[in-house]
Amino acid sequence: MNWNRALLTDSGGFQMVSLLKLAQITEEGVKFQSPHDGTEMLLTPERSIEIQNSIGADIIMQLDDVVHSTTTGPRVEEAMYRSIRWLDRCLEAHKRSHDQNLFPIVQGGLNPELRKICAIEMTKRDVPGFAIGGLSGGEEKSHFWRMVTLSTDHLPRDKPIYLMGVGFAVDLVVCVALGCDMFDCVFPTRTARFGSALVPTGQLHLKNKEFSCDFGPIDDTCPCSTCKTFTRAYMHTIVTVQSTSCSLLTIHNVTYQLRLMRSIQESIIANRFPQFIQKFMETMYADRQYPQWAVEALQSVNVTLCLR
């Protein structure tokens, strides 16, 4: 790959609920049909770790039993306890602990007690960091943030916490305030395919006619190669039409996300994170009609947004 920077690989657990058809989950592992030829395949915790060891990523994930975030009932408890058992199997199978960091994944759906049990149990293992999984799957934001903060409250503060599947700008800012350090999401690349550019005020839907004669860059403060080279008007002519536009907008959107996280980090180091949050929210919501869930989440960590 010639990528001399950090790499993270996932275990395949998310695909249980997002992509795979005819998957059968047992204590042994996950049986599913190959997307290539339809043959039956089995992914076990041991096999998942073996694959990730061979890839050699810096951070690797346990295989967990994932259920949709809105699932309720005994299946959620079953998946949570199985994830704990599978964690132990992953740790036993891990052959490169000297140069690869294996993260457990806290599960429990939207059930506070199950999430608490899972977090407490997983912290008993000697691991370098933790992930929070099973969220950002369509649940109400009021439930989402409460599960995030409940999880971070029961995880060590001296180890990195990775919130999986979260990528909206507001979510990133709020969840850093709630104690999360790392994130991943398809959002910046997926939204690029639909012709949307991420900017400090939200999104620009470049397919809209208003951009047909706009000869400025997507964001005049952005240093990415797309903003330095192409105008909004040019992008308007190619988005959703030429595949090149996906790459160009992806470059910009990923740059936006990286700059946002870098700004968050710098404000924390400078002990100005609350002020950063206020400015970020005022820019994103010029009318100061902030999402109620974000207001409540920030208030829970003593950050009060100015509403005037």
Q: Is 286 exposed, middle or buried (0-12, 13-18, 19+ CB in 10 A)?
A: exposed
User: Could you tell me how many helices (H) and strands (E) the chain has, helices first?
Assistant: 12, 12
- Long-range contacts from 24-27, C-beta under 8 angstroms, 24+ separation: 25/65, 27/82, 27/85
| Active-site residue flag, 184 | yes
Q: Strand (E) positions, 63-195?
A: 101-103, 105-106, 130-132, 161-163, 182-183
Query: Distance between CA atoms of 29 and 52, rounded to whole angstroms?
Result: 16
Instruction: Return phi, psi of residue 183, to 5°.
Output: -145, 160
The first and second tokens of residue 72, run together, are 């309720």
Buried b (16+ CB within 10 A) or exposed e, 19-46: ebeeeebeeebbbbeeeeeeeebebbbb
89 vs 24: CA distance, rounded Å: 19
**Of 153, 184, 219, 220, catalytic:** 184
The position carrying tokens 């649940």 is 139
Report, as residue numbers or ranges, the catalytic residues: 10, 184
